[in-house]
Amino acid sequence: MDRILIVDDTEMSRELLAELLEDQFEVVFARNGREALHILSIQMGGIKAVLLDLLMPEMNGYEFLMELRDRKWDVKFPIIVVSGDDTQSSREICEELGVAHYITKPFKRKEAVDEINAAIREYSDEQD
C-alpha cells in the first residue's frame, strides 16, 4: 500500500488527516520538518505524497521545503500544504518553493481528499 507522510506538530490535525486517508494509504507521521527529512531518508521510495503544515517547531514547513529543494527531493512526490495560514504571501512563498496544492484549515473532508487525490494524479501524469 502506498504511503502518505503527514508533517504536522498538532496531534489532532495528524489524526484528522489520517482518518480521511487511512482507507487509501498507509499513513506515516512526523511532528516537524526535521523528523520528516529523517523519515524520507529511510522511506523515500514508498512515499506517494507529503501533507505539510507550515508552522511547526524545530523546522517549519518553509525550511522543510527549502531543504527538499536543496536535496533535489522536491521532485520525488507531490507536496500538499495543509495550513491555517491563508495569506497571499504564504501561498506565494509556497508556490515559489514548488507547492502546487494548498488546503486551508479548517477544511471540508471531501474537498481535502479530492485535492490530495488530484495532486497525486497530476504528479503521476507529469511523470509519465
Q: What are the distances in angstroms from CA 63 to CA 57, 91, 116, 122, 125? A: 11, 15, 22, 24, 28
Number of compact structural domains in the chain: 1
- How do residues 41-56 score in pLDDT, each as one tens digit? 998 888 999 999 999 9
Cα separation, 95 vs 48, whole angstroms: 20
- How do residues 85-117 score in pLDDT, each as one tens digit? 999 999 999 999 999 899 999 999 999 999 999
- The residue range of the domain holding 86 is 3-127
Q: Residue 91 maps to which CATH number?
A: 3.40.50.2300
Determine the pLDDT at residue 45: 84
pTM to 2 decimals?
0.94
Please check whether residue 101 is in contact with residue 78, taking contact to mean a CB–CB distance below 8 angstroms: yes
The residue type at 39: I
Sheet with 3-7, strands from edge to edge, namely 26-30, 3-7, 47-52, 79-83, 101-104
